[in-house]
């Protein structure tokens, strides 16, 4: 299989934005249904993981030297790593909400869960997710 070279960064950003909507929208819906915010975030991240694989595969790969099984396994490994980093960081943000909130403007304090989900998601995407997918999974 060949790796696509043109516009992968922008297309990955656009698919990432869609995943952000799916994850944060899903987590917010689950929050409103009364689920614990940590559990709702975890469930939303797992759904996002599945949708994201399909989208990232379509963005990065036409053909590859690796077989499809390798890509699925390496993607699952990296996304489990991404999910763990994201969830642990989110849990830290929830557990330390009082300490963190006092440094935020009122509008962010009022939307704290959404703020930390978006902030953590963006950070993890830039530092872990995109580089691993681009240079290891879909090669």
Identify the domain containing residue 35 by its residue range. Answer: 8-137
Q: At 62, is the pLDDT very low, low, confident or very high (cuts 50, 70, 90)?
A: low
d(CA 65, CA 72): 14
Residue 89 lies in a domain: yes
Given a contact cutoff of 8 angstroms between Cβ atoms, the answer to whether 126 and 9 are in contact is no
Q: Does residue 103 fall inside a structural domain?
A: yes
Residue 120 · residue 86 · CB < 8 Å: yes
Write down the pLDDT at residue 6: 61
Comparing 25-29, 47-51, 134-138, the range with the smallest average pLDDT is 134-138
Residue, of 125 and 4, whose pLDDT is higher: 125
How many CA atoms are closer than 13 Å to the CA of 96, on its beta-carbon side? Answer: 10
The mean per-residue pLDDT over the stretch 59-82 comes to 78
Domain count, the chain: 1
Model confidence pTM above 0.95: no
Position 3 pLDDT exceeds 80: no
Residue 96 falls inside a structural domain: yes
Within a domain: 45: yes
Question: Is the residue at 2 inside a domain?
Answer: no
* 3 assigned to some structural domain: no
Q: Is 114 a member of any domain? A: yes
Residue 5 scores a pLDDT above 60: no
Q: Rounded CA gap, 90 and 79, in Å?
A: 16
Q: How confident is residue 66, by pLDDT bands cut at 50, 70 and 90? A: low
């Amino acid at each position: 299989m060949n790796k696509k070279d043109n516009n992968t960064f922008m297309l990955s950003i656009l698919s990432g934005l869609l995943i952000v909507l799916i994850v944060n929208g899903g987590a917010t819906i689950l929050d409103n249904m009364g689920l614990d915010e940590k559990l709702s975030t975890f469930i939303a991240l797992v759904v996002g993981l599945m949708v994201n694989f399909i989208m990232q595969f379509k963005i990065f790969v036409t053909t590859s030297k690796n077989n499809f099984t390798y890509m699925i396994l390496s993607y699952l490994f990296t996304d489990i790593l991404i999910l763990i980093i994201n969830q642990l960081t989110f849990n830290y943000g929830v557990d330390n909400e009082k300490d963190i909130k006092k440094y935020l403007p009122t509008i962010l304090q009022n939307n704290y869960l959404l703020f930390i989900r978006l902030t953590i998601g963006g950070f993890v995407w830039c530092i872990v997710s995109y580089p691993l997918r681009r240079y290891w999974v879909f090669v």
